[in-house]
Amino acid sequence: MSVKRKKYSKQFKLDAIQMYETGEKSMAQVERELGITSGMLGKWREELQQAKAPSEAFPGNGNLPECEGRIRQLERENAQLRQEKEILKKVLGIYSKDAR
């Protein structure tokens, strides 16, 4: 039996953080009011602070921040080019044996 995880929108997370930072309630009180798990608001605040820009925080649904996505894309291209280079080396070796 699988447990269904709740998904919160980026705007919900930003609003929750703002509610805590501008209000006079403790983090635990805000979490109880919003019905989120204990400690979740702290994790969201930390993720927002670690993001280079607020727009990069909370990419959601397994998506990577823009810069990390670009790095992964370049790494895949690099691996493909390395494979093509090895294939060309093998083909060159085969043709150079035939020429002798």
- pLDDT tens track for 38-84: 999 999 899 888 877 777 777 666 666 677 778 889 999 999 999 99
Spatial distance between the Cα atoms of 35 and 21, rounded to a whole number of angstroms: 18
Spatial distance between the Cα atoms of 51 and 14, rounded to a whole number of angstroms: 13
Looking at residue 100, its pLDDT comes to: 62
Longest dimension (CA), the chain: 85
Give the domain ranges of the chain.
7-61, 64-100
pTM for the complete prediction? 0.56
- pLDDT tens track for 27-40: 999 999 999 989 99
